[in-house]
Amino acid sequence: MNVNIKILLALALACTSQARAEEFSPDIAGLQQAAADFVTAYNKRDAAAIAALFTEEGEMADITGTKLTSGRGEIQARYEEIFDGTPALMALEVGSVRIVAANLAIEDGIVHITPAADEEHPPRSFSYTAVLMKNAENIWQIASTRDLADVTTADGNLAELANTLKGEWTSRTSDGVQLDLAFGWDATGKSVVGETLTTTADSEPQTGSVRLGWNAAKKSIVSWIFDAKGGVTEGVWTPTAGGWLVRVEGTTAEGETITLNQKLTAEGENTLIWSATNRVVNGELQPDTSLRIARQAPEPSED
């Protein structure tokens, strides 16, 4: 377990205790134990142990509120699915615990998920609320839990888009224009950067650069594209169920204004569909365009 996880576990217990210090109840120790047991089971990747911490009819809802997992069997299966992915460590910061009835408590806090030994997947943090019930053996169990909001820092807010874009891509249009792209995290781990290369049969190759970051004031991903001739555009990204919508404004190197709507959709892990509509250059509406972009296969190893 890394140092940050240990610190956050200590904070979880300290915050829980402080939240009720002025009206101490013996039940707080049991609630602290329930939180600690959950973290321990998660970090051991023990789906059965996590399911056992829930009531028989316990349930958990995702951040959208549309995906509900009900009952210990479904909860265990859900965590087995989670643990099949990138290994990660969990920590909890319990912000408040309210005992609202003799056998009923409501807990609010933040859960931190840190991928283990994986620099390409930055930590994510989510606020949550949980309802706990005390059973006949005086053990607190989780009746329901729900993630409320993504409260990660800049790198976390970029994580989903970065995971979609990272790598090398290529596209070729029907008129012989080839577009090659490459994306990855920058040296700080707070921004995603990309390089573009546009090649045609009758002109010199044109390069460009892309940078994506998190605008904390707008609470949105923003992007900047710089082309080789000196043009620049800025985009504001809005996530959708199937990808992202991007509202773009900018200028060409000659000072012409540009506005357009873009849509980026992922088809599996190896195909991106990029489209542009309502594209206006210096007041003149341009035709809609669409590109199918495929992930390039990695270079064969020389070993």
- pLDDT exceeds 60 at position 10: no
* Phi-psi group of 49: left, alpha or beta (phi > 0 → left; psi -120 to 50 → alpha; rest → beta): alpha
Q: What is the pTM of this model?
A: 0.55
pLDDT grade, residue 95 (50/70/90)?
confident
pLDDT for the residue 102: 87
Predicted local confidence at residue 121, as pLDDT: 63
According to the model, what pLDDT value does residue 300 have?
Answer: 56
Confidence at residue 14, expressed as pLDDT on a 0 to 100 scale: 39
Q: What is the mean pLDDT of residues 212-226?
A: 90
Whether pLDDT at 281 is above 70 = yes
Q: What is the reported pLDDT for 19? A: 42
* Residue 182 in this model has a pLDDT that exceeds 60: yes
What pLDDT is recorded for position 29? 86
Considering only the C-alpha atoms of the chain, give the largest distance between any 2 of them, rounded to a whole number of Å.
Answer: 80
- Mean pLDDT for all residues in the chain: 84
**Are the beta carbons of 195 and 182 closer than 8 angstroms?**
yes
Mean pLDDT of 177-188: 91
Q: What does the pLDDT look like over 115-157, one tens digit per residue?
A: 776 555 667 788 899 999 999 999 999 999 998 877 777 766 7
Spell out where 73-227 has E strands: 88-101, 104-115, 124-134, 140-150, 167-172, 178-185, 192-200, 203-215, 220-227
